[in-house]
Structure formats: C-alpha cells, structure tokens
C-alpha cells in the first residue's frame, strides 16, 4: 500500500512541477487522475478486506472512504474516458464513440 501511495504521490508531485512551469498537458493530468484514483480505491478495498466483517461496519471509516472513491471514479472525468484520452495521446487515434 505504501509503495503504491508513494508512486502516486510522485506522479502528482511531478505534475505539480509541470503545472507550475506551465507545461502540464491535459493528457498528463488525465493519466494522473485515472491512475491515482484507481490506486486509492484498490487500496481502500484491500484495507476494507483486511478488517474482514468489521470492515463493513460503521465502526471503521474505510467503507465510507471506499464509497467516496467510487464516486471519484465517475466525476472529474470517468475512468473510461481518461483511458480514451490517454489512448488518443499515445496513438494519435481518437477512439471516442
Ligand atoms: C459525486 C458526483 C459529483 C459530481 N459533480 C459534478 C459537478 O459538480 N458538476 C458537473 O457538471 N457534473 C458533476 N458530476 C457528473 C459527472 O461529471 C458525470 O456523472 C460523469 O461525467 C459521467 O457522466 P454520466 O453520469 O452521464 O455517465 P455516462 O456518460 O452515461 O457514462 C456511463 C458509463 O459509460 C462510460 N462511457 C461513457 N462514454 C463512453 C465511451 N465513449 N467509451 C467508453 N465508456 C464510456 C463512462 O465511463 C461510465 O462508466 C458529478 C458526478 C458524481 C458521481
């Protein structure tokens, strides 16, 4: 978990640097949003599972965090749409239908 979180933080940090320099592209932001949200929700799911049955109770906040992340998969550009943006960026072909 800590390795994946650190990798995602490095991605966000580098993107912040590029943004400050006026060099961040839409495709880079798209890739970072998609990657980091997916990483976060996977970790939240794993953390929920580590807690077993207690993980779905209100006593632990992980389920609530996980559900918040479910909504982040959709807003500010869905997971699928960001993938299409990345695909268009690296291939030059638009796959939007
Ligand atoms: C918590 C929350 C807060 C929000 N806040 C705001 C806000 O403040 N302002 C605002 O304007 N909107 C807001 N939204 C709306 C959000 O931007 C849209 O829900 C989002 O863009 C997806 O659009 P949709 O719901 O119409 O789904 P659809 O466009 O119908 O998509 C449904 C599913 O199909 C996939 N999909 C769609 N088109 C393609 C395609 N061409 N190829 C492959 N897959 C595709 C999508 O990824 C998604 O999984 C919010 C949504 C949520 C959940």
Domain boundaries, the chain: 2-91
Q: Which two tokens stand for residue 83?
A: 């993938």
Confidence at residue 88, expressed as pLDDT on a 0 to 100 scale: 97
Confidence at residue 14, expressed as pLDDT on a 0 to 100 scale: 98
The whole-number average pLDDT for the span 77-83 is 97
Q: Choose the residue to mutate in 79, 80, 87 for probing ligand 1, maximizing ligand atoms within 8 Å of C-beta.
A: 80
Average pLDDT, the chain: 97
What is the Cα–Cα distance from 85 to 9, expressed in whole angstroms? Answer: 21
Element containing residue 48 per DSSP (H, E): helix 26-50
**Centre of ligand 1 from the C-alpha of residue 83, in Å:** 14
Tens-digit pLDDT profile for residues 62-74: 999 999 999 999 9
The whole-number average pLDDT for the span 43-48 is 97
| Smallest CA separation from ligand 1 atom 2, residue | 75
Confidence at residue 97, expressed as pLDDT on a 0 to 100 scale: 82
CATH fold, domain 2-91, is: Butyryl-CoA Dehydrogenase, subunit A; domain 3 (1.20.140)
What is the Cα–Cα distance from 14 to 67, expressed in whole angstroms? Answer: 28
Q: State yes or no: pLDDT of 33 exceeds 90.
A: yes
Name residues contacting ligand 1 (CB within 6 A): 71, 74-75, 78, 80-81, 84, 96-97
The whole-number average pLDDT for the span 43-50 is 96
Candidates 51, 32, 40, 55; CA nearest to 1 is 40
């Amino acid at each position: 978990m800590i390795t994946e979180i650190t990798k995602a933080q490095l991605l966000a940090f580098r993107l912040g640097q590029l943004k400050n320099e006026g060099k961040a592209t839409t495709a880079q932001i798209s890739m970072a949003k998609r990657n980091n949200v997916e990483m976060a929700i996977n970790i939240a799911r794993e953390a929920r599972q580590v807690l077993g049955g207690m993980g779905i109770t209100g006593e632990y906040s992980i389920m609530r965090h996980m559900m918040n992340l479910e909504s982040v998969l959709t807003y500010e550009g869905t997971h699928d749409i960001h993938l299409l943006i990345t695909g268009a960026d690296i291939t030059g072909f638009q796959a939007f239908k």
